[in-house]
Amino acid sequence: MQKLQQLYEGKAKKVYATEDPNVVIVSYKDDATAFNGQKKGTITGKGAINNRMTNNLMRRLEAAGVPTHYIQELNDRETAVKKVSIIPLEVIVRNISAGSFAKRYGVAEGIVFDQPTFEFSYKNDDLGDPLLNTSHALALRLATREEIDLIHTYTMKVNDLLKGFLKEIGIDLVDFKLEFGKTADGQIVLADEISPDTCRLWDEKTHEKLDKDRFRRDMGGAEEAYEEVMRRLMGEQ
Ligand code: UDP
């Protein structure tokens, strides 16, 4: 599969056209940003880890009945995916309090919820990705009610599956962000990435942070944390 012109460059990935109008190639960068792009840096090796981890999880989710944009891993950093128009909703699920939830509601991090929370942010950097509910999403015509229902169903299934995959390797899934897209034929599929950039992952025993919070909070050891998650997920290689 040939990479043609670059269509888009985001904070962590570039997207290229291919000869097939329904297929694009995603290329993962080592660039890291936080706080809506205000903090910038590099996590060496992150691009390759996020590419391979996302693909590993997308294949397992697809096999379990969640439609995804994944087509084929091309090399360490690049993957062919279905071309979609991204629905501008960041879908966030939380199993344990952390990050903006802890801040917004004035609670400690680490409270295990009786059931997961489900929330949307409006994917809009200029506005700082504000929190919004279903009626707001409908008012803004970001998606239809049927699409939102489907996104909710898929997301809850993804949470159950991911929690299980990660528990097997001694990791608690604290929270994560998903994005969905619409294919040319109107199908809603899971898109974007599932990686330590987009999930909070804590070691189940030590509660050590194995995710982008190490970069956000200047804790050091981000590279090692990403490598550790990869090593546990894929085995030594
Ligand atoms: N998240 C993300 N991209 C964003 C915002 C959040 O991938 O633009 C992920 C984040 O890594 C975490 C979860 O969504 O796993 C919940 O993030 P939160 O709302 O707590 O925001 P943060 O504290 O990261 O600002």
The string of pLDDT tens digits covering residues 182-194 is: 999 999 999 999 9
33: DSSP letter: E
User: Tell me, what's the pLDDT at 237?
Assistant: 42
- Amino acid identity of 46? K
Whole-prediction pTM value?
Answer: 0.97
From ligand 1's centre to the CA of 177, what distance in Å?
6
> Which CATH number is 85-221 given?
3.30.470.20
From ligand 1's centre to the CA of 19, what distance in Å?
34
Residues with CB under 6 A from ligand 1: 90, 92, 98-101, 129, 175-177, 198-200, 212
From ligand 1's centre to the CA of 198, what distance in Å?
6
Instruction: Return the bridge partners of 199, or none.
Output: 176
Tell which CATH classification among 3.30.200.20, 1.10.10.10, 1.10.20.10, 1.10.150.110 matches the domain 6-82.
3.30.200.20
The string of pLDDT tens digits covering residues 135-148 is: 999 999 999 999 99
Per-domain boundaries in the chain: 6-82, 85-221
Mean pLDDT, 10 residues at a time, the chain of 237 residues: 95 98 98 95 98 98 98 98 98 98 98 98 96 98 98 98 98 98 97 98 98 98 98 80
